[in-house]
Amino acid sequence: MILADGITLLCNDLQVDPQDIVMLVVSWHMKAATMCEFSKQEFIGGLQALGIDTLEKFCERIPFMRSELKDEQKFREIYNFAFAWAKEKGQKSLALDTAIGMWQLLFAEKHWPLVEHWCQFLQARHNKAISRDTWSQLLEFARTVEPSLSNYDLEEHGHTSLMNLWSTYKKMV
């Protein structure tokens, strides 16, 4: 296993901050089951799939992996991967603080202007773990609903009651 300390060393060798979103993309390519660790099989399989057999090639592939976030389908896959990858082993839901950190990281790439409002709302009004349904539906919400929420219809969109509550709250403030 490569654990957090080993990943930090790898990041140093790659000249990438361990909290850089590209490390999420690396983990996605490696099909890593858990945040901050790679099994030998995950690591070797991921490197082989990427055609990487030297540190130099790994460094050269970083810009490509970063560019994958701009592809809508790959972003969706990486976003959905992030839920299982980031949650604690044995848990069905994602801890709120972890979900917020992941959303801030992921939506910084997508430039969703409401991410901070969403996170503040959750901390103030929800303060519970995030279900897979809420996680999955937020991406669609961010993709289809205008920042003003002007095109959000509670009945038409059918998002979770949490998003309905937030949109109602947001329109009032």
CATH of 4-70, one of 2.160.20.10, 1.10.3720.10, 1.10.238.10, 3.50.30.30: 1.10.238.10
Per-residue pLDDT tens for 8-60? 999 999 999 999 999 999 999 999 999 999 999 999 999 999 999 999 999 99
Q: What 3-state class would DSSP assign to 92?
A: coil
Per-residue pLDDT tens for 111-151? 889 899 899 988 988 888 999 998 998 998 888 888 887 88
* 141, 109 contact by CB (below 8 A): no
Question: What distance in Å separates the CA atoms of residue 41 and residue 167, rounded to the nearest whole number?
Answer: 43
The CATH H-level (homologous superfamily) assignment of domain 72-172 is Cullin, PONY binding domain (1.10.238.200)
